[in-house]
Structure 1
């Protein structure tokens, strides 16, 4: 599976805002607070005011980095979203939210999407009682996602659930002690708290 393996703090610096790619660590140890300019030798020189195209590009890059999706997969998802009924930008965000790794993150099992993705890759997550190891797997209404008993006692899981349990979104229903969630409904736009202006992404890909 292709994925970004470099330092994630430089991604936040490039977008000039916290993307919370490390979870709670971003609240206490954030290089962006000391170096609020793009990374690289000429980072300070690139602090120019962006054109319309650059603004759209940065919004697309920000969405990609938040959800941990590479360009080709993101573009394919956009094309699929454009063929669906409704608003293309909202369809795109809904598809990203319905990915298995994101739902594992939203359930509170990992402090970040990358950590939740690792749980999926290591076979710690089941969907409707069957092991699922594909982070990009897209779920539907009524699907039940559970964390395997062997992973429920991990310190990172218990600490994450304790800190994030109150923040489970309304479109997910927690079952039992928080180690299972059911997809009640696909999320509405107002239920997605990611600060992304999806209309700019639509304008970028529509050029």
Structure 2
């Protein structure tokens, strides 16, 4: 399955809430869901009642699109979560939050997750002093992320750090003056920007 490359505002409208896929645009009056708060398409304004199956599917799709993960990858994360101690739903959210591209976004080193993914692939960061260019890599508490020295002078990163509108969650520590960040704890569900009912995802995969 190929990655979606169409208008991302349609994704937010389909799920009925902001998924923060367009960076600064999501915080402005130009936000697509703010202007047209209904699903895209000819029948988007029809209020169709979903079945339990449909509700579970929409929750899975919402979370998958929020983190920018393909279907196969998402299923792999769920399988990993099931094998870990604790609740599968909580483990799934932790794994997704600890993805390298998500951590870059949450630190404020990118304006959106898609941009974070692109910056990671282009090799602008190190983890614990070593080159890291795999967006799906899952980080752990204690890992230190740094913008490479040759990238620190770019206007892009200086602007991102100076104009960053978000505050890093409690499980992350950011030092903008030194272009570094650190994972100091495991993420909690309360730190996620959107409401997620992870039990619906567990029910979907448990059929």
Which residue does the alignment assign to 1:168? Answer: 168
Structure 1: distance between partners of 2:176 and 2:69: 31
Q: What displacement does 1:115 show?
A: 0.7
SS class of match (2:177): coil
Q: 1:111 and 2:111 equivalent?
A: yes
Q: What displacement does 1:22 show?
A: 0.8
- Assess, with a 3 A threshold, how the Cα gap between structure 1 residues 124 and 74 changes in structure 2: closer, same or farther: same
- Give the length in aligned residue pairs: 206
Q: What displacement does 1:59 show?
A: 0.9
Q: 1:42-121 alignment to 2 at 5 Å?
A: 42-45=43-46, 47-121=47-121
Q: 1:39 and 2:40 equivalent?
A: yes
Structure 1: distance between partners of 2:160 and 2:59: 29
TM-score (norm. length: structure 2): 0.91
Q: Which moved more, 1:62-71 or 1:50-59?
A: 50-59
1:172·1:181 contact (CA, 8 Å) conserved in 2?
yes
Alignment RMSD (CA, Å): 1.9
- Structure 2 unaligned segments of length 5 or more: list them: none
Q: What displacement does 1:11 show?
A: 0.3
- Assess, with a 3 A threshold, how the Cα gap between structure 1 residues 193 and 148 changes in structure 2: closer, same or farther: same
TM-score (norm. length: structure 1): 0.91
Which residue does the alignment assign to 1:18? Answer: 18
Structure 2: distance between partners of 1:105 and 1:158: 15
SS class of match (1:173): strand
- Assess, with a 3 A threshold, how the Cα gap between structure 1 residues 42 and 176 changes in structure 2: closer, same or farther: closer
Displaced runs of 4 or more, over 6 A: none
Q: What displacement does 1:130 show?
A: 1.2
Which residue does the alignment assign to 2:204? Answer: 204
- Structure 1 unaligned segments of length 5 or more: list them: none
Q: Which moved more, 1:53-62 or 1:160-169?
A: 160-169
